[in-house]
Amino acid sequence: MAGGTEKFGHSDVDGYGFKRTEDFDYKDYEEFMSQYLSVLARRASRWKDIVGTDESSVSKSSKVKRFCRKGIPNEHRAMVWMSVTNADVSLRQNTGLYEKYINEKLEPKVEESIKLDIHRTFPDNIYFADIQDPQAMRRPLKHVLTAIARKNTRIGYCQGMNFLAGLLLLAIQNEEKVFWLMDTVINKILPDFYGPDMLALKAEQELLGEVVKWKLPDVHAHLEELSVQWCLIGMKWFICLYADVMPVETVLRIWDCLFLEGPKILLRVALTLIKLNREKILACRTFPEAVDLFRDLVKDPSTLHCHTFLESIFKETGSFPESKIKKLREECIERVKKDS
């Protein structure tokens, strides 16, 4: 499988196997890639100093954080993701556990949910097509989701996990590593995002509303006037961590930051999309018009230019004090608990 940046031009399939739409702007993409490839070359040479000669792990530091924000080269991405999340530790300490999980039976209801969602996962991707191909991803996807459900019996299987696992498989191409990374995301980076009540996921959408109220009060007031609820805006963005709604290279760049810095990155991305489209949002006059606009925000041309977009999620959103975000998040969690 080619990496996402290894081929570009007029192919009808990108480097990750996604079929391009009929209205795909090849000219804009070629201009972007001609610049982005030089960025990648510079970043790759600088990452060599961090990963060292054995290229087996990296340690969290301000330098690694800065480098992750500027993008992890494809050849180091799996190792860096595993290192900064400590998923590599889980992998080393639990030899054979993944194989055990994929061979255990699931509850029929959970098994059926996984089976249904496997067929819904990236239908426009050639590697998830229903073909007998040695590089096909449906079997590894089933293995990963089965193992996740077996290990996390309280959660079982949850909507959105299929897209997270699917894109991780395309990026990492090692199902056991994908399992341990995904398990770490579910239990440590985004605890309670996935589960029967989706408490943290619902609270994070409410938190997005509070952040918009803080950073863009006019937009917040306008959406309140139109009775637009934040769950209508943020659910699909957050549940799949943007995997099913934004260009794949941009999503991977978002994950470079998310896996190191946590859910605050999801908020930065959402706030940036809103801020870049502020005038369009304020021009909406009805509830349906606003909802339709938010559905299209993730398709904004700016999201294709992943390097510029990732720079903007830090420049456009300004300071995000951890103490303030934590306080607001706790308030949102309590609010969601009371409403449920």
Tell me what pLDDT residue 7 has.
Answer: 45
Tell me what pLDDT residue 247 has.
Answer: 92
Examine the domain organization and report whether 139 and 251 are in the same domain.
no
Tell me what pLDDT residue 8 has.
Answer: 46
Examine the domain organization and report whether 240 and 184 are in the same domain.
no
Residue range 278-321, pLDDT digits in tens = 999 999 999 999 999 999 999 888 898 899 999 999 999 999 99
pTM flag (> 0.75): yes
- Measured CA to CA, the distance from residue 165 to residue 148 in angstroms comes to 10
Examine the domain organization and report whether 258 and 315 are in the same domain.
yes
Residue 16's Cβ-side half-sphere holds a number of Cα atoms within 13 Å equal to 22
Q: Which of 48, 65, 82 is the last residue of a domain?
A: 82
Examine the domain organization and report whether 284 and 324 are in the same domain.
yes
pLDDT per residue rounded down to tens, the chain (340 residues): 555 544 445 678 888 999 888 877 788 878 888 888 888 888 888 898 888 767 778 888 999 999 999 999 999 999 999 999 999 999 999 999 999 999 999 999 999 999 999 999 999 999 998 655 656 899 999 999 999 999 999 999 998 999 999 999 999 999 999 999 999 999 999 998 998 888 999 999 999 999 999 999 999 999 999 999 998 888 889 999 999 999 999 999 999 999 999 999 999 999 999 999 999 999 999 999 999 999 999 988 889 889 999 999 999 999 999 999 999 999 999 999 998 7
- Measured CA to CA, the distance from residue 210 to residue 118 in angstroms comes to 35
- Measured CA to CA, the distance from residue 237 to residue 245 in angstroms comes to 7
- 275 phi-psi bin (left φ>0, alpha ψ -120 to 50, beta other): alpha
- Measured CA to CA, the distance from residue 148 to residue 224 in angstroms comes to 38
Which tokens hold the place of 135? 């590089």
In eight-state DSSP terms, residue 195 is: S
Tell me what pLDDT residue 91 has.
Answer: 97
Examine the domain organization and report whether 36 and 165 are in the same domain.
no
Q: Is residue 115 part of a domain?
A: yes
Could you tell me the CATH number of the domain that includes residue 325? 1.10.472.80
- Measured CA to CA, the distance from residue 265 to residue 183 in angstroms comes to 19
Which tokens hold the place of 125? 């991707």
Total number of domains in the chain? 3
- Measured CA to CA, the distance from residue 119 to residue 128 in angstroms comes to 8
- Measured CA to CA, the distance from residue 306 to residue 309 in angstroms comes to 5
C-alpha distance from residue 71 to each of 1, 67, 79, 265, 286 (Å): 20, 6, 14, 14, 39
For 32, the domain range is 1-82
Q: Which of 65, 82, 99 is the last residue of a domain?
A: 82
Provide, for the chain, the percentages of residues in helix, strand and coil under a 3-state DSSP scheme, each rounded to the nearest 5.
65, 0, 35
- Measured CA to CA, the distance from residue 148 to residue 183 in angstroms comes to 7
Q: Which of 28, 63, 82 is the last residue of a domain?
A: 82
Examine the domain organization and report whether 304 and 205 are in the same domain.
yes
Residue 118's Cβ-side half-sphere holds a number of Cα atoms within 13 Å equal to 18
- Measured CA to CA, the distance from residue 237 to residue 317 in angstroms comes to 17
Examine the domain organization and report whether 327 and 207 are in the same domain.
yes
C-alpha distance from residue 138 to each of 4, 99, 115, 241 (Å): 19, 17, 10, 20
Q: Is residue 164 part of a domain?
A: yes
Examine the domain organization and report whether 108 and 163 are in the same domain.
yes
Tell me what pLDDT residue 232 has.
Answer: 85
- Measured CA to CA, the distance from residue 13 to residue 320 in angstroms comes to 38
Examine the domain organization and report whether 31 and 73 are in the same domain.
yes
